[in-house]
Chain A
Amino acid sequence: MKSTITTVIAAADNAARFPSASDLESVRGSLERAAARMEAAEKLAANYDAVAQEAVDAVYKVNPQGNLGRQPRVCDTEGKDKCKRDFVHYLRLINYALVTGGTGPLDELAINGAKEVYAALSIDAATYVYGLNTLRNRGCAPRDMSAQALAEYNAALDYVANSLG
């Protein structure tokens, strides 16, 4: 799974050299920002259930059928549960991405193939984009987490929304 440190090591290994000063410098840069990312990951791990529920509620407020696609689901409750499950899944991977400091976990476990899967299941990816955008606009700096942590969290949400959209 890719992260800043593994990327640096892979580059150094390709050149068969010891970690250079600039390698260590880029790791240091990542570690400096890591404290904020850890904070965001911690807050998210503690509150993911409520956060996912918020996204689901937002989606169902726009469309009571739960799906913005051409083929709306008819099963209300079951759809809601599945919708929440999916948001929890995205939040869990965002939690990993915040911890590793790279988009590796999101790329490997969610985004690769997502469009194809949603197309096959006739689910409009815009449903998730809408929910993620709601979360993106919902976070509030001193209330939920520190400003820097919120910036990292929002960047991860944006990354998923942009990749699905």
Chain B
Amino acid sequence: MLDAFSRAATAADASGSFIGGGQLAALKTFVAEGNKRLDAVKAISTSASCIVTDSVAGMICENPGLTSPGGNCYSNRRMAACLRDGEIVLRYVAYALLAGDSSVLQDRCLNGLKETYAALGVPTGSMARAVAIMKACAVAHVNGTNGDRGPQATNNTINLGTTAKGDCSALASEAASYFDTVSTSIS
């Protein structure tokens, strides 16, 4: 498993060179923007159950056959397995976002997943759709644009006053890229 820092070290070691200049500049940005990254991971982690449930529910709404007899989410046992898989994928995406590198996602989650799904008869198209919804959801949480939380919830949120909102677009697109990695590798 690598993170942004050890990825740089591994790359430099391959050519026997020191890490300096451009590579260090990228890592310095990583460090300077570190708090945003932690906030992004926190946003995804604390809303994990909501993100997963929404995406699986969305996937089924679009394709109700899944929960009908003969569908792949028919029976609570299989529905539970589906929710569990969604949570696993989201968890590894959260790890990848924390590390700033997709190796943990690749090595520990996606490696062999497509083959496993093929063997178990899981429709990867549906899974990819759930991942796409998770992506939209997670990006919204990272950017802080996750919709109307209702009047009561709004009363409970901290009033930021005149403090300008941080720009997390770079992290949002990084997170989106990890979800895309998942989609590409299973379909």
Contact = CB atoms under 8 A, between A and B. Distances in A.
Interface in A79-122: 91-92, 95-96, 99-101, 104-105, 109
Nearest to A24: B38
B108 interface: yes
B6 A18 contact: no
Chain B binding site: helix, strand, loop or mixed by DSSP?
Answer: helix
B86 to A, nearest CB: 13
B19 A12 contact: no
Given A3-B5, A9-B99, A95-B18, A38 B27 contact: yes
Nearest to B28: A38
A96 B13 contact: yes
Contact of B9 (A8, A20, A42, A99): A99
A165 interface: no
Interface residues of B, number: 37
B31 A9 contact: no
Contact of B35 (A20, A28, A95): A28
Contact of B27 (A10, A13, A24, A99): A99
B5 A44 contact: no
A5 B31 contact: no
Contacts of A9: 1, 3, 95, 98-99, 104
A100 B9 contact: yes
B84 to A, nearest CB: 10
Interface residues of A, number: 39
B34 interface: yes
Given A3-B6, A5-B3, A95 B34 contact: no
A6 to B, nearest CB: 5
Nearest to B24: A42
B38 A104 contact: no
Interface stretch (B41-49, B58-66, B135-143, B160-168): B41-49
B150 interface: no
B81 to A, nearest CB: 15
A31 B5 contact: no
B168 to A, nearest CB: 15
A4 to B, nearest CB: 8
Interface of A: 1-3, 5-6, 8-10, 12-13, 16-21, 24, 27-28, 31, 34-35, 38, 41-42, 44-46, 48, 91-92, 95-96, 99-101, 104-105, 109
9 contacts: A2-B6, A3-B6, A9-B3, A24-B98, A38-B28, A46-B20, A92-B12, A100-B3, A100-B6
Interface of B: 1-3, 5-6, 8-10, 12-13, 16-21, 24, 27-28, 31-32, 34-35, 38, 41-42, 44-45, 48, 91, 94-95, 98-100, 104, 108
